[in-house]
Structure 1
Amino acid sequence: MPDGTDIFETMRLELRRGSLVLAVLACLRTERYGYTLRQALAADGLEMEESTLYPLLRRLESQGLLDSEWREEEKRKKRFYRLSSQGVTLLAALTDEWRGINASLDKIL
């Protein structure tokens, strides 16, 4: 049987997973490339490994929630991401849902 630390870590990661999607969508209201997105998230207390971020960006793009384009900047090709119109709509709906859940949890906790 796992000890309390293992259970906490499993539950923490589960709780964090859905929050990261919302955070990434919210940060991409402003166009960014991967590195600056990671920096913005970390500055707000949500550090994310590249091995988590880039698959998430690809998945969100394949779902039609992000648009991206390659550009050369500082002699390097970088892929810039931003919310698509579908992403803007979904972010608004998820934000409302998050606020409702958060208000309920605040009452319960």
Structure 2
Amino acid sequence: MNSSDVLATHLQELRRGTVVMAALAILGTPTYGYALLESLDRAGFAVDGNTLYPLLRRLEKQGLLVSEWNTEESRPRKFYRTSPEGRSILDDLLAEWRELHQSIEKLR
């Protein structure tokens, strides 16, 4: 395995862990799945739908997201938004992220 493959693998692992934070942050405003995929992509998080939709269901089951169907348009869409508990968890995750970053910087 060459160094670019090794880097790609580690970057994928790093991003996988940050997608939860990114989704919770974006979903402060109600958004449907495909629009969330586009927003994440524009922000530098290339996420596949086969990864995102199970994540959304898991976060909803954990109480971090709430959802509701919008049937006013010709095509019904399920909109997700971050719950109050999800916002609290996001704040905690971001604080931990900052502490980890500071710790790593101290090691360099």
TM range (shorter): 0.7 to 0.9
On the 8 A contact 2:67/2:79 being kept in 1, the answer is: yes
Q: Residues of 2 paired with 1:45 and 1:101: CA distance? A: 21
Q: Deviations over 1:8-48 (max 9, x none)?
A: 33322221111111111111111100011111111111121
Deviation, 1:103, is: 2.4
Percentage identity across aligned positions? 47
Instruction: Give the 3-state SS of the residue equivalent to 2:7 in structure 1.
Output: helix
Map of 2:92 onto structure 1: 93
Q: Residues of 2 paired with 1:70 and 1:96: CA distance? A: 32
| 2:25 is the counterpart of 1:23 | no
Compare 96-105 and 50-59 and name the one that shifted more.
Answer: 96-105
Query: Residue type matched to 2:63 in 1?
Result: G
Q: Residues of 2 paired with 1:77 and 1:56: CA distance? A: 20
Count of residues in Structure 1 that have an aligned counterpart in Structure 2: 108
Query: Residue type matched to 1:62 in 2?
Result: K
Q: Residues of 2 paired with 1:73 and 1:55: CA distance? A: 25
Map of 2:55 onto structure 1: 56
Q: CA RMSD in A?
A: 1.6
Map of 1:13 onto structure 2: 12
Q: Residues of 1 paired with 2:23 and 2:93: CA distance? A: 12
Unpaired segments ≥5 residues, structure 2? none
Map of 1:38 onto structure 2: 37
Q: Residues of 2 paired with 1:44 and 1:8: CA distance? A: 20
Q: Deviations over 1:30-85 (max 9, x none)?
A: 11000111111111111211001101000100111000011124301100000111
Unpaired segments ≥5 residues, structure 1? none
Query: Residue type matched to 2:7 in 1?
Result: F
TM-score (norm 2): 0.88
